[in-house]
């Protein structure tokens, strides 16, 4: 009974926070200052760092209500104390999420607590189900972030050959490299537009164009784009026709992209099998914890714990082995 009361209290508290955050987002979207900031955001450099001073009182991505501001402020202090600002900001930028590290941390913790409370209510106060839900709620956001980062990187690589072709055409028309980049920003699509726009903003602030482009490759962990920047650097040093060089590089990258897609198609069955075999035990265990927790009671004995640890180790080894087999470097 006390566990049920605690679960109900946490549920109502979470509902109140959710309603307050929703109202904050709705009211924030109607403010003239917010609309002006959104219109100017494409011309600003988003670093994902936490604001300081008076900027700390501005509306957050979670809303402008006191609850959201207090939660984000607490997360900012925690991130600054742990020194996680740079790591989390880099991952959020690579995934293309318009969130600061503190806001991501608040959403991450809220997802873990919400998943734990949900399984607590569904299981009727089962502590094992609550702990399992908490772990799942804390792990899933990282997986979602990794998936978004991978998809954004793949989309960037798929657009890279056509972007280089457009750059070469602009250079042949007599444009300079910054002017050619601005043409791509005006005519391209995300995520290429956002990354090149940020490079242009950095170049206008005094950063060399090659260095600004190099940071794109570092953020997205793209060797292909790093090679493009290396080719531009070499051309700047030794001279030559940059347009013809970009056309040659674009043809090479287009063939690499075709081969990469072919490899993904051939390895799709193995990747899907590994995903199903890895997720099935976890999903079935979550179902038993909620629907029939007595079925897993023998696993709480010393021998059962040994079996669980062995199963987790074997599942991890098998997943890593399948991932290694289906991964082909192109």
Radius of gyration of the chain, Cα coordinates, nearest whole angstrom: 25
Please tell me the total count of domains within the chain: 3
Q: Is residue 134 part of a domain?
A: no
Domain that holds residue 284: 268-326
Query: For residue 49, is pLDDT > 50?
Result: no
Query: For residue 63, is pLDDT > 70?
Result: no
Question: By C-alpha distance, which of 198, 187, 181 is closest to 44?
Answer: 198
| Together in a domain, 231 and 206 | yes
| Together in a domain, 242 and 183 | yes
Give CA–CA dist 26/298, Å, rounded. 49
Q: Is residue 38 part of a domain?
A: no
3 state SS of 97:
coil
Q: Is residue 164 part of a domain?
A: yes
3 state SS of 54:
helix
Q: Give CA torsion, residues 117, 122, 128, 132, to 10 deg.
A: -60
| Together in a domain, 258 and 275 | no
pLDDT per residue over 239-275, tens digit each? 778 888 888 888 888 888 888 888 888 888 888 888 8
Which residue, chain included where needed, has tokens 């919400």? 114
pLDDT for the residue 178:
85
pLDDT per residue over 82-132, tens digit each? 666 667 777 888 787 777 777 778 887 888 888 888 888 877 777 777 888
Q: Is residue 2 part of a domain?
A: no
- Residue 60 bridge partners (DSSP): 63
Q: Which residues of 282-321 are buried (b: 16+ CB within 10 A; e: fewer)?
A: eeebbebbbeeeeebeebeeeeeeeeeeeeeeeeeeeeee
| Together in a domain, 115 and 214 | no
Q: What is the pTM of this model?
A: 0.67
**What is the percent of the chain where pLDDT is above 90?**
1
| Together in a domain, 159 and 229 | yes
3 state SS of 63:
strand
- Residue 318 bridge partners (DSSP): none
| Run of H or E residues at 250 | helix 242-266
Query: For residue 232, is pLDDT > 60?
Result: yes
Query: For residue 37, is pLDDT > 70?
Result: no
pLDDT for the residue 27:
40
CB atoms within 10 A of CB 5: 10
Q: Is residue 278 part of a domain?
A: yes
User: Which range is least confidently modeled, 21-35, 50-64, 72-86, 244-258?
Assistant: 21-35
- Helix boundaries (H) for 99-241: 101-122, 127-172, 177-187, 192-204, 209-220, 223-238
Q: Is residue 49 part of a domain?
A: no
- Residue that finishes a domain, picked among 263, 294, 311: 263
3 state SS of 292:
coil
| Together in a domain, 282 and 238 | no
| Together in a domain, 167 and 181 | yes
Q: Give CA torsion, residues 282, 285, 289, 293, to 10 deg.
A: -160
| Together in a domain, 183 and 236 | yes
Interval 132-146 mean pLDDT: 84
Per-residue pLDDT band for 310 (boundaries 50, 70, 90) equals very high
Q: Is residue 28 part of a domain?
A: yes
Q: Is residue 5 part of a domain?
A: no
Check which CATH number belongs to the domain holding 225 and give it: 1.20.81.30
Per-residue pLDDT band for 17 (boundaries 50, 70, 90) equals very low
Question: By C-alpha distance, which of 104, 95, 109 is closest to 145?
Answer: 95
* More confidently predicted of 8 and 89: 89
- Residue that finishes a domain, picked among 263, 287, 306: 263
Cβ-Cβ contacts under 8 Å for 328 (sequence gap 6 or more): 263, 267
pLDDT for the residue 259:
87
* More confidently predicted of 165 and 61: 165
* More confidently predicted of 39 and 261: 261
pLDDT for the residue 36:
47
| Together in a domain, 84 and 167 | no
3 state SS of 100:
coil
Give CA–CA dist 15/11, Å, rounded. 6
| Together in a domain, 183 and 159 | yes
Query: For residue 23, is pLDDT > 70?
Result: no
User: To the nearest whole number, what is the mean pLDDT of the chain?
Assistant: 76
CB atoms within 10 A of CB 241: 12
Give CA–CA dist 329/214, Å, rounded. 22
- Residue that finishes a domain, picked among 244, 263, 282: 263
Query: For residue 5, is pLDDT > 50?
Result: no
| Together in a domain, 235 and 167 | yes
C-alpha distances (whole Å) from 122 to each of 16, 39, 112, 285 are 20, 44, 16, 14
| Together in a domain, 217 and 306 | no
Per-residue pLDDT band for 67 (boundaries 50, 70, 90) equals low
């Amino acid at each position: 009974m006390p566990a049920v009361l605690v679960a109900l209290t946490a549920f109502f508290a979470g509902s109140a926070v959710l309603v307050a955050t929703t109202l904050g987002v709705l009211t924030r979207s109607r403010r003239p200052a917010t609309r002006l900031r959104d219109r100017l955001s494409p011309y600003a450099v988003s670093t994902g760092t936490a604001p300081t001073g008076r900027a700390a009182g501005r509306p957050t991505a979670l809303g402008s209500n006191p609850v959201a501001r207090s939660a984000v402020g607490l997360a900012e202090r925690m991130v600054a104390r742990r020194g996680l600002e740079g790591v989390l900001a880099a991952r959020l930028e690579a995934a293309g999420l318009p969130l600061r590290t503190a806001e991501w941390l608040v959403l991450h913790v809220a997802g873990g607590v919400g998943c734990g409370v949900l399984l607590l209510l569904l299981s009727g106060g089962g502590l094992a189900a609550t702990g399992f839900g908490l772990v799942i709620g804390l792990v899933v956001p990282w997986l979602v972030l990794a998936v978004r980062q991978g998809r954004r990187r793949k989309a960037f690589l798929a657009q890279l050959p056509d972007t280089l072709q457009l750059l070469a055409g602009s250079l042949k028309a007599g444009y300079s490299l910054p002017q050619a980049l601005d043409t791509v920003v005006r005519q391209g699509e995300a995520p290429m537009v956002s990354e090149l726009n940020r490079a242009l903003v950095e170049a206008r602030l005094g950063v060399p164009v090659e260095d600004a482009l190099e940071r794109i490759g570092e953020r997205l962990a793209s060797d292909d784009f790093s090679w493009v920047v290396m080719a531009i650097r070499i051309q700047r040093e030794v001279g030559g026709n940059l347009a013809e060089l970009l056309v040659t590089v674009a043809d090479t990258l287009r063939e690499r992209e075709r081969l990469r897609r072919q490899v993904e198609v051939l390895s799709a069955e193995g990747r899907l099998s590994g995903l199903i075999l890895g997720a099935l035990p976890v999903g079935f265990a979550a179902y038993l914890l909620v629907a029939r927790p007595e079925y897993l009671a023998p696993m709480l004995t010393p021998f059962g714990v040994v079996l669980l640890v062995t199963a987790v180790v074997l599942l991890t080894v098998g997943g890593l082995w399948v991932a290694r087999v289906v991964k082909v470097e192109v």
